[in-house]
Structure 1
Amino acid sequence: MVLIDSGSGLANATIQQRLVPVRLFYDFLMEDGQRDSNPVGRGRYTPGRRHRGGHERGLVPRLTKLPWIPTEQQWLDILAVAAAEPVRNRVMLALAYDAALRREELCSLRTEDLDPAHRTLRVRAETTKNRLERVVPYSAPTGVLLSGYLAHRATISRARGPLFLSESRRDHAQPLSLWTWSKVVRRIALAADVPRFSTHTTRHLCLTDLARMGWELHAIATFAGHRHTDSTLTYIHLSGRDLADKLSRGMEQIHGWRVQMLARLGEPATGTVAL
C-alpha cells in the first residue's frame, strides 16, 4: 500500500490502466439505466466544438515521456559487458539494435526469416505490435556474429524453426522465452551499472540514431513498422547534448554575422554626400 503523502506512487501509465475497469464499470451502469453519466472521463476532443463543450478532460491527465536512451559512455559500458556473453546473447543484442526490433519480434524470429545473401530479415506480421509485416536490413558486423551463431546453433539443433534456442538443462533446444531474454538484458544492464537499460532501449537508440543521420520521418516509420508517423515521433528525440550542440553552432553563425555587420560600421561610407 502506498500512502498519498509518501512521496512515491504509481506511474501515470499504471494509473491509466487501472482506471479502465472502473470506467467500463460505470459504462455498464449507464447502459443498465442505473446512472446518467460516467464520472471517469475518457479525455477526448471533438474538432470544431472546443468552445461548445467538445473538449473533455480525463480524470487523470495522460503524460507522455520521451524514451530514455543511454549516453555514449553508457552504451560503451553495455557493450563491454556484452562482449563476454555467449554468442547467442551478443547476436540478439546486435539484431535488436540493427533492426530496431521489439522484444517479441526478436524472440519470435525463425531460421526461414533470414536472408543472409542480402543481409535482411523478415519480421512476420503475427509477431508485430500492429500486425504489419516488414523486411529490415542488418549490418555486416552483425552478419558475421549471426554466421557464428548459426554454426553454434547447429550443435544444439539442426531442425529449422525458432532462431534463438535455450541452452539450459531444463529447456534445452526449446525456443528462447521473452522472460529469459529480459533476464539476460537485465543482468547485463546491472553489470554495466546502467540500470535503466532494457530490452526496448536498443529500439529507442536505433530510431534516434536514424533521425540523427538525417533519415526522413516516413522512412523511419517504415523501418520501425509504425502505421502512423505520430507513433514514430514518440521514439525520436534529440538529447540535451544534441540540442546544446545545435544551439552552439547556430549562435556561432549568428555571432559571426553580427560581428561582420559591426565591422562594416567602421568602413568608410561610399556614395554619400557630406552635409
Structure 2
Amino acid sequence: MDRKQMEDRWPVLGRHERAAEWLLVWVDLGRAPRTIDAYARGLAEYLQMCEQDGVDPVTATRAHIAAYVRELTSRPSRHGANVVSLDSAAGLANATLQQRLVPVRLFYDFLMEEGLRASNPVGRGRYTPGRRFGGQQRALVPRLSKLPWIPTEQQWLDVLAVAAREPVRNRVMLALAYDAGLRREELCSLRTDDLDPAHRTLRVRAETTKNRRERVVPYSAATSVVLSGYLAHRATISRARGPLFLSESRRNHAQPLTLWTWSKVVRRIAIAAGVQRFSTHTMRHLCLTDLGRV
C-alpha cells in the first residue's frame, strides 16, 4: 500500500501529515496487510473525532482520549433490542475497544520518538502500590478476559454429522484444525512440504503464526487416513508442490484456497448444523480445552 492508496481509502489520514507518516513506517516494516488495515481504520476513526471537536491530535491530552473512549462506549449497540447482558446494550465490546486504542497509543509513541510530545496520553497502564505481587495494573480501559465459547458435546456431534457430508478437502481441513489447534491463517497457509506423514506431524511456519514462532504439531491416525485420501484427490487437481489446500472452483481452479473461502465453508457447516456460533477459531479453542481435560 502506498500513500495515495491509503489516502484514497481513508481521506482523513491525508489531512494529518504525521498520521500518514506513522502508518507508512509500518508499511515499510512489512507488517501484514490486515494489520495495516486495522491500524489505519482505528486511527482514522480517532482523527475524525479530533476534527469534529476541533482538537489537534498532536497536542491532544488525556482528557481528549477519555472523551474518545466515552464516545466508543456510548454508541448504540448493533444488537438493538436483543440485549442479553448489562454490557451489551450500548458501546463496543471490550476487545474491540482495546483494538481501537492500540493504533492511537502507537501513534503517540511515534510522536514521542520524534520529539513532538513528552508523554503518551493513552499510556499502557500503571501499577497501584500496596497490592499483592507488586501491585495491580490499571489501564485506560480495563481488559476483560472472558472464557472462549466452545460447543457442547451434542453441538459438536451435529457439526461432525454435517462435516461428514463435505468434500474430502473440507473434512481434512476441519480435522487438522482440531488435531493441531490451528488458526485460520496457519491452516490455509500449509504447504505440501510442511507434512511429515511418516511421523504424523506438520510444521507450522513462523511467518504464518501470530507470535512468529515456528512449531511442529502432531495429528491423529484417523486424520492421517483422511489426509491420504485428500492427497490422492489433490493430485487430480495439481501435481505441483506448494500450497496444500487448493480451490476447485472454475474461477480459481488449482489456486491456493483463501482465508475467506474457508470462512464461508465453516459458516455454511455451522448454519446447516444449527450451531450459529461455530467458527474457524472454534476448533482451536476446542482442541486446547480437550487437551486441558486430559
Same fold (TM over 0.5): yes
Q: CA deviation at 1:202?
A: 0.6
Partner of 2:129: 50
**Residue in structure 1 matching 2:151, options 61, 67, 70:** 70
Q: Relative to 1, partners in 2 of residues 1:31 and 1:117: Cα closer, same or farther, differing over 3 Å?
A: closer
Contact 1:41–1:56, Cα closer than 8 Å, also in 2:
no
Which position in structure 1 is the counterpart of 2:165?
84
* AA of the residue aligned to 2:283: T
Greater displacement, 135-144 / 72-81 = 135-144
For residues 78-107 of structure 1, the C-alpha deviation after alignment (integer angstroms, 9 at most, x for no partner) is 111111111100000001001111111111
Please say if residues 42 and 56 of structure 1, whose CA atoms lie closer than 8 Å, have aligned partners that are also in contact: no
* 1:204–1:37 Cα change, 3 Å: same
Letter in 1 for 2:96: T
- Percent identical residues: 83
* Distance 1:156-1:58 versus aligned 2 partners, 3 A rule: same
Structure 1: gaps (5+ residues): 214-275
Note if 1:138 corresponds to 2:210: no
- Secondary structure of 1:198's aligned partner: coil
Distance 1:5 1:173 in 2: 45
Shift of 1:164: 0.4
1:98 aligns with 2:179: yes
Q: Which moved more, 1:194-203 or 1:117-126?
A: 117-126
User: Is 1:17–2:99 an aligned residue pair?
Assistant: yes
Q: Is the 8 A contact 1:105 1:128 kept in 2?
A: yes
Q: How does 1:118-267 map to 2 (within 5 A)?
A: 118-213=199-294
Question: How far 1:22 moved relative to its partner?
Answer: 3.2
State the Cα distance separating 1:50 from its structure 2 match. 1.6
**Displacement of 1:41:** 3.5
What CA RMSD, in Å, does the superposition of the two structures yield over aligned residues? Answer: 2.6
Gaps of 5+ in 2: 1-70, 77-88
Tell me how far 1:38 sits from its aligned partner: 4.0
SS in 1 for 2:262: helix
Which amino acid is 2:129 matched to? R
Q: Which has the larger radius of gyration?
A: 1
SS at match of 1:67: coil
